[in-house]
Amino acid sequence: MPLTIRIQREDFDIAAEIAALSAGRRDIGAVVSFTGLCRDEGGTLAALELEHYPGMAEAEIGRVAAEANARWPLMGLLAIHRYGRVAPGEQIVLVIATSAHRRAAFEAADFLMDYLKTRAPFWKREHLADGTIGGWVEAKDIDQKAAQRWE
């Protein structure tokens, strides 16, 4: 199964990534993509700063992708995760799963995101609109529970 994992500072183009995954193939029946954006809930956020563990980030997402490939009949998987400074409204993460049928693609994309949030070594910190540096974002129980659904 074609697998693409990229950890990058730059933004990404969803349409171009979908096109690349399906180029030259006639057997793909379903493409599911998820895009995570930087969100400002109260008008106080200037940007999120994402720190990551180079090397392990790629390795860990690769391990999660291998698990997804073992569980569902996939035709391709892609994960792109940005690091550095990301402003509200900008894209942070992209997951794409392709398969012959929609169920496998939906579930694999959902699985990959759930595990990416709880296992991929990334940490977010807030930069506030008033110019101060806010705190590190705390991990949420709801994300841990979402990942546990797949156990």
Partner 1 sequence: MTQALATSAPASDTRSVKLVYFAWVRERVGLADEQVELPAGTETVLDLVRWLKSRDEGYAAAFENETLVRAAINQTHVKPGASLAGASEIAFFPPMTGG
Residues of the shown chain interacting with partner 1 in the complex, contacts defined by CB under 8 A:
36, 50-53, 55-56, 59-60, 81, 92-93, 113, 116-125, 136-139, 143
The distance of closest approach from Cβ of residue 15 to partner 1 in the complex, given in angstroms and rounded to an integer, is 21
Burial of 101 (0-12, 13-18, 19+ CB in 10 A): exposed
Helix axes 102-119, 141-148, angle to 10 degrees: 140
Q: Looking at beta carbons only, is 53 or 106 nearer to partner 1?
A: 53
The distance of closest approach from Cβ of residue 70 to partner 1 in the complex, given in angstroms and rounded to an integer, is 18
The distance of closest approach from Cβ of residue 77 to partner 1 in the complex, given in angstroms and rounded to an integer, is 16
The distance of closest approach from Cβ of residue 34 to partner 1 in the complex, given in angstroms and rounded to an integer, is 9
Q: Looking at beta carbons only, is 3 or 143 nearer to partner 1?
A: 143
Q: How far apart are CA 90 and CA 126, in angstroms?
A: 14
30, 104 contact by CB (below 8 A): yes
Q: How far apart are CA 129 and CA 111, in angstroms?
A: 34
Q: Looking at beta carbons only, is 96 or 116 nearer to partner 1?
A: 116
97, 2 contact by CB (below 8 A): no
Q: Looking at beta carbons only, is 38 or 75 nearer to partner 1?
A: 38
Q: Looking at beta carbons only, is 75 or 77 nearer to partner 1?
A: 77
* Amino acid type, 42: G
82, 38 contact by CB (below 8 A): no
